Amino acid sequence: MDFTAKAEEKSDDSHVFCPIPALRSGEQFRNFLTTVEIPCDNVTTFGGPPRGKKGSSKNVCLDGRFDVIPGRCVVFSFGINHDWSFEDEMAEFGCKVFAYDPTMDVESHQRSPNLQFFSTGISNYNGTKVIGMGKNWKERKVDRFENLVKEAGMEGRPIDVVKLDVELSELDFLQDMLFNSRHVLGSIKQLAMEIHSHFRIPSKVAGRRNSL
């Protein structure tokens, strides 16, 4: 067997053309965050006041092209921190919601007919990781997004919304999706993601940018 040929073949397969140039400065990053590239005519806010905390809401585009249909839509949500407003409202809208947060010391359970909770965190590997909130940091269970989708029985199905409010663990998620699970990334219609940055972003723009 020609192992060299096999290695070269694998290397060739790993090259994927990406038309988006790499960011080379903080200014480029700021411009990316503040530029609306895909406008939405029907932006709907889920979560936040009065049921939840300020800052816990996420915008979802309900334009027809995204086909977010009650009774058929699927949502994966990471990072609850005892504020269920986004997840409850998406479930009440008619979506099947899978929610994850290992930091609340709450066991996995069925919160409502459309909302199932798992005490697992998101990462780029299956195992444990020291994560937490405030002073409550300890070793907790984490797993890859692709594995969680399979466990939820949603493999191969379109995923309408993925919410990430996970205090930098979104970097693990993005790294894993871009390098290991591009086929799963392609099934996600919208990402509602908290981005950690020292740049101040106008609230009007931030509200429009958090659904990608």
CA angle 147, 13, 193 (to 5 degrees): 40
pLDDT digits (tens, 9 = 90+) for 65-114: 999 999 999 999 999 999 999 999 999 999 999 999 999 989 999 999 99
* Helix (H), strand (E) at residue 182: helix 182-185
Q: Where are the domains of the chain?
A: 36-209
pLDDT digits (tens, 9 = 90+) for 21-48: 676 777 887 787 788 888 999 999 999 9
Q: How far apart are CA 114 and CA 95, in angstroms?
A: 7
State the pLDDT at residue 168.
Answer: 75
Q: How far apart are CA 69 and CA 62, in angstroms?
A: 9
Q: How far apart are CA 193 and CA 73, in angstroms?
A: 18
State the pLDDT at residue 28.
Answer: 81
pTM (global) more than 0.85: no
Helix (H, G, I), strand (E, B) or coil at 13: helix
* pLDDT value at 201 more than 70: no
pLDDT digits (tens, 9 = 90+) for 128-156: 998 877 777 889 999 999 999 999 999 99
